[in-house]
Amino acid sequence: MGKYDSLLDSIQQSKPRKVNDHILVIDAMNTFIRSFTMINMMTPEGAHVGGMVGFMKSLGFLVRTMNPTRVVIVFDGPASSQARKNINSDYKANRDISRITNWEVFDKKEDEYDSMSAQIGRLVEYLNMLPVDMISMPKVEADDVIAYIAQQFGKEDNKITIVSSDKDFLQIVDKNVEVYSPIKKKFYGPDLVREEVGVLAENYLVMKSLLGDNSDNLPGVKGLGPKGIFKHFPDLVNKPGTDLDYVFNICEAGVEKVKVFQKVLINYDRVWQNYDLMNLMEPRLSDPQKVLILDLMDNCPGHLNITAFLLMLKQDNIQHGITKNTESWLENFRYLLTIKK
């Protein structure tokens, strides 16, 4: 029986791959900012290029090691947070306060911002030379676009790998959708989410609504931590589809006996607002925006312009910044051109 299983596996692997069989979806700003803050790379002229170069190094690594059939890079659009800020003006307000690096090349926060803007603009020009898709929509956060792509294309035998250290994506993990954390270097499927977080992936949003999210400046219920959630709301751990109504019903029934239940009920509006703001199971997209995304995904990615890419590297004086052998690095992308619809 073993040799027949092996033969079947080889036949399946030899089948021509289609463009949406394995979509690698990259949270662009998450990847860029991580590179910008970790890589203090300068050109001979004194310009910081760590964000741009680090992003491209990461992209090459991901394409080479994960062997996707398609790469979709999603950027936040202009005024991307405004819709959520209209619900809660404090949403992400903590991100505009101070510098994010300690590089001496930047005298003040404004210098950082100018460098980031310039590097992102140039990065997009580089990416236009590669057979990858890019999406950025005005007033739309990348999270919503990524979640929608995962929902629409993570079906049947298709596989979606989301690249981001943002834990919000754990709520949409299922058997076809995984999250790769570049920081932890782990692939989060349903089992690993349950093991490390302590709740089912589909219940993660309810848990986060109670805990809040410091990175987005969304406070949770004071005095309630993960251990308290596991203890008082065990269905989140092992029962699919557990919702906030379940949580509030337990709190109402036991408010006289458990002190933290009173805090949960007092924060009823805040918890529901957190749920609304963090919810990626219902992406914050209009019907026309959804159509635009589907139209883009209906086409195969563009071209690979090696000559132009190499010329740009020379112009920017970063020929050896990405890798010692850039032409070999670029060959990793050639395979994407062979994938058909």
pLDDT per position as a tens digit, 106-120 = 888 899 999 999 999
Tokens (6 digits) for 74: 């999603």
- Alpha-carbon dihedral angle through residues 167, 169, 175, 177, given to the nearest 10 degrees: -120
CATH says 18-164+300-330 is which class?
alpha beta
**Residue 37: what pLDDT?**
93
Strands 70-74 and 133-135: parallel
Q: With bands split at pLDDT 50, 70 and 90, how would you rate the model's confidence at 10?
A: low
Which tokens hold the place of 47? 């310009």
Task: Say if residue 98's pLDDT is above 90.
Answer: no
Q: Cα–Cα distance between 298 and 188 in angstroms, integer?
A: 27
User: Is pTM beyond 0.85 here?
Assistant: yes
Per-domain residue ranges for the chain?
18-164+300-330, 201-278
Percent of the chain, pLDDT > 90? 81
pLDDT the model gives residue 4: 58
Pairing of strands 159-163, 212-213: unpaired
pLDDT by residue (tens digit) across 118-161? Answer: 999 999 999 999 999 999 999 999 999 999 999 999 987 899 99
How far, in Å, CA of 165 to CA of 34, rounded? 9
pLDDT in tens, 12-69: 556 788 999 999 999 999 999 999 999 999 998 889 999 999 999 999 999 999 999 9
Q: What mean pLDDT, rounded, does the chain reach?
A: 92
Tell me the CATH number of domain 201-278, given options 3.30.1310.10, 1.10.10.60, 3.30.465.10, 1.10.150.20.
1.10.150.20
Beta strands at 218-219 and 186-188: parallel, antiparallel or unpaired:
unpaired
